[in-house]
Amino acid sequence: MSRTTTDNTGNGEHNWISQLRNHIENIPTSDGEVVETLPPEVTDAWTVRGCANAMKADFDVLYVPSGYKHPFTGEMCIPEYTKGTYRGQPADQYLLRSDTGQAIGNMSGRYPAREGYKHVFDTLDDLFPQSCDSVTVFGNGERVVVEQVLDEPYDLGGGDMIQPYIYTRMSLNGTWKTEIIPISQRLSCENQLGFSGQLIGVRATKNHDHLLTMRASVLEMSKAQGLALKNMARILSEQEFTDAMFREMQNVIIPVDHDLHHKTVTAALNKRGACWTAWKTESEDHPTMWGAYNAMQGAEQHRINATPKSGETKEAARERALVKALDGKTPIADAAEAYLLSLATVGAEEPF
């Protein structure tokens, strides 16, 4: 359905976002925990601004000149530009949250002043009303990721539903430019599929907000990603896959060389174990190449990338996994996709 004719703001059975919300709300994560939902008093939680308010991501920014105390006189010294357009202005500045006073960045004095993330939130709400699924805040708010439902879900057959999303990431400390990234999600297991890179990428400049608004129409390109994912799923779903074939794929993608350091061997075996466990679940209903791909992809997303490192919290590990997904750093899933498509497209016979 064309995005221009989809009504996501009203009530009733036609509102597929409401139906989707009922379906996915409080789904247990892969480790058995339930993702915390937004407070019930937040009535506009399905707007980006509503979600951002609930997560304390919608704040103003103070720009404070950065300086030092003179070691002899105790005087506060603030270095300034001595020539050019910025002459007389602080050479360095701290970015602070106006509500808490927490530092969220230390930038050059040339860094353009912005009203926090407000314009980005408003732009996303204008593009896709009542479609926000989550807002993730990193640290004190120096980085933020917005997740929105995009277009209607589609059924690959047998109730295997795929839902297109867009993830918009942004920062106030210069670590991320503003990017809108399409990633489809398999609702049965929340696997993130179909990464194809950013659609919009805008660095912080004086024209940042204007450019983001002007380039937002590029989101129509995400439809091409959905079509490519449908075609891949159709091809892989038609090909049966056995345990022996999955083992062979693991040998190619995650080989184990016992001559290497024991930590390297253990890490490889743990990855293979996570993939095998996921495959045994997938093969109950999807003993196909499509199930094999989702097993490899899901294990990488939910187990391998999201396993806390030493001293790391589960929430921090999940945030790290999200960043990897947005960066497209999913080598196991990428290798599995290439391996399986090469078998399917050449019509290879089962080698066992």
Q: Identify the CA nearest to 67 among candidates 36, 45, 34, 89.
A: 89
Most confident of 3-7, 85-89, 270-274: 270-274
pLDDT digits (tens, 9 = 90+) for 130-181: 999 999 999 999 999 999 987 778 776 667 787 888 889 999 988 888 888 8
pLDDT at 42: 55
What pTM was computed for the model? 0.73
Confidence of residue 351 (pLDDT cuts 50, 70, 90): very low
Query: Which range in 21-30, 256-265, 313-322 is most confidently predicted, on average pLDDT?
Result: 256-265
Residues 6 or more apart from 108 whose CB is under 8 A from it?
91, 92, 93
Position with higher pLDDT, 267 vs 198: 267
Separation between Cα atoms, residue 101 and residue 124, nearest integer Å: 27
- Mean pLDDT over residues 310-324, rounded? 88
Q: Which of 207-211, 247-251, 258-262 has the lowest mean pLDDT?
A: 207-211
Concatenating the DSSP letter of every residue in 148-169 gives EE-S--EE-STT-EEEEEEEEE
Q: How confident is the model at residue 41 (pLDDT cuts 50, 70, 90)?
A: low
pLDDT tens column, 58-103: 999 999 988 888 888 888 888 888 888 888 888 889 999 999 999 9
Phi, then psi, of 271 in degrees rounded to 5: -65, -45
Pick from 20-29, 231-240, 294-303, 323-332: least confident:
20-29
Whether 327 shows a pLDDT value over 80: the answer reads yes
**pLDDT tier for residue 28 given thresholds of 50, 70 and 90:** very low
- pLDDT value of residue 283: 92
Query: At how many degrees (to 10) do helices 331-346 and 222-237 cross?
Result: 60
Q: 39 vs 52, which has greater pLDDT?
A: 52
Show Cβ contacts of residue 137 under 8 Å, excluding neighbours closer than 6 positions.
55, 56, 57, 143, 144
Could you tell me which of 133, 98, 131 has the C-alpha nearest to residue 116? 98
Confidence of residue 208 (pLDDT cuts 50, 70, 90): low
Give the model's confidence band at 221: pLDDT under 50 very low, under 70 low, under 90 confident, else very high.
low
> Minimal CA–CA distance to 200: which of 190, 191, 192, 209?
209
Mean pLDDT (the chain) is 78
Q: Lowest-confidence range among 169-173, 298-302, 324-328?
A: 324-328
19 pLDDT above the threshold of 50 = no
